[in-house]
Amino acid sequence: MSKEDLSLEEQVERIRAKRNGSGEWKDRVRRILNNVFLILATCGLVTYFSSEENHVNGIILVGIGMLFKFAEIIIRILR
């Protein structure tokens, strides 16, 4: 595949990958952290709205999910 066949976004991604070299593992870690955040946030919301008396467990799950999201953001910034 030649450079003309690639879109501009694909070309930029290839350039970034060449510059970073070890950026592949960071992308994997970011994806995992983001998926953990989404799962915890969803479970937290379901727990929050399904419990009529005690919403603390749902808030705790969402808070833990936010910690994973902050870690993902820090990795993205340090990239």
Give pLDDT tens digits for 30-68.
999 999 999 999 999 999 999 888 899 999 999 999 999
Does the pLDDT at position 13 exceed 60? yes
What 3-state DSSP class applies to 58?
A: helix
Contacts of residue 65, defined as CB under 8 A and 6 or more positions apart, other chains included, come to 36, 37, 38, 39, 40, 41, 44
Q: Residue 12 has what pLDDT? A: 83
pTM: 0.69
Does the pLDDT at position 1 exceed 60? no
Residue at token pair 């467990």:
57
Which ranges of the chain would DSSP assign to H, the alpha helix?
A: 8-20, 23-50, 56-78
- The mean predicted confidence, pLDDT, of the chain is 87
